[in-house]
Chains A and B, each alone.
Chain A
Amino acid sequence: QQQVKQSPQSLIVQKGGISIINCAYENTAFDYFPWYQQFPGKGPALLIAIRPDVSEKKEGRFTISFNKSAKQFSLHIMDSQPGDSATYFCAANRPREQGAQKLVFGQGTRLTINP
């Protein structure tokens, strides 16, 4: 069962534009929502994360918007740069049964920033 749905699968944005990636989740017990950035041949790296009691978090050019009632969250990349070209994954942390942190990932969005 896919518990985190991500869209779009691919996205092309012009340099300087705004990139927007959306995710929706099903399990209301998820308690932490990170976004990961992955370059080819590398492992995912944490970009920014948010807790469900906050509606927005901004770090530099990256912003997460979180809508708890709609069970949706999104990543906005302002002033997108060619170096931002990568695959982005949203994720959600499953409830901590037995103390485990278990991340459920979306399918990924391949972002291309054209110069």
Chain B
Amino acid sequence: GAGVSQTPSNKVTEKGKYVELRCDPISGHTALYWYRQSLGQGPEFLIYFQGTGAADDSGLPNDRFFAVRPEGSVSTLKIQRTERGDSAVYLCASSLRVRRDTYNEQFFGPGTRLTVL
């Protein structure tokens, strides 16, 4: 079956511009996560959705970052007034509904490589 897909695969923008990154989770997965992976580092948590609402956005670095998931499926990560320090690979992951008594594997997409010039 289809895995997590992300578009675009690469995005080059200029400092100060606005960008949107899209994530299509695995069908039936109600939990969706965004991570950021800087060069040579492990992924860092940004935000988690359970359904349509952001259950935890504690990883968003500042108010230039925002994410939505209006219908509980596709999610868009939005970055305003981009800065060179935002350059990284943005990973999306999805999983079955989160339950307190079990751990559900997070399946990662290939990521979007964002370069801010």
Residues 92-110 of A, flagged 1 when their CB comes within 8 A of B and 0 if not, give 0100111111111111100
A102 — nearest CB in chain B belongs to which residue?
B45
Q: How far is the CA of A100 from the CA of B42 in the complex (A)?
A: 19
- Residues 70-110 of chain A: 1 if any B CB is under 8 Å from the residue's CB, otherwise 0? 00000000000000000001010100111111111111100
Residue numbers in A under 8 Å from B107 (CB-CB): 46
CB pair B48–A43 under 8 Å, yes or no, is no
A102 lies within 8 A of B48 (CB): yes
- A25-79 residues with Cβ-Cβ distance < 8 A to B are 31-32, 34, 36, 41-46, 49
B91 in the interface (beta carbon within 8 A): yes
Of B41, B45, B98, the contact of A103 (CB 8 Å cutoff): B45
Q: How many contacting A-B pairs (Cβ < 8 A)?
A: 70
How many Å from the CB of A20 to the closest CB on chain B?
A: 18
B110 x A42 contact (CB < 8 A): yes
Most buried by B among A31, A36, A97, A105: A105
The reply to whether the CB of B31 lies closer than 8 angstroms to some CB of chain A is yes
With contact pairs A98-B55, A100-B98 given, residues A43 and B91 touching in the complex (Cβ less than 8 Å): yes
- The answer to whether B98 and A99 touch across the interface, beta carbons within 8 angstroms, is yes
Q: Which range holds the interface residue count of chain B?
A: 20 to 34
A contact patch SS = mixed
- Beta-carbon contact of B41 and A101 below 8 Å: no
Q: A43-B109, A107-B41, A108-B41 are in contact. Are A93 and B103 (CB under 8 A)?
A: yes
A105 surroundings in chain B (CB, below 8 A): 42-44
Residues of B within 8 A of A108 (CB): 40-42
The answer to whether B42 touches A101 (Cβ under 8 A) is no
Which listed residue, B56, B59, B104, touches A98 by the CB 8 Å rule? B56
Interface residues of B in 69-117 (CB under 8 A from A): 91, 93, 95, 98-100, 103-111
CB closest chain-A residue, reference B104:
A101
Assess the B43–A44 pair: CB atoms within 8 A.
yes
* Given A89-B42, A93-B103, A101-B98, 12 other A-B residues pairs in contact with their CB atoms under 8 A: A34-B105, A43-B110, A44-B108, A46-B107, A101-B48, A101-B106, A102-B45, A102-B56, A103-B45, A105-B42, A106-B42, A108-B40
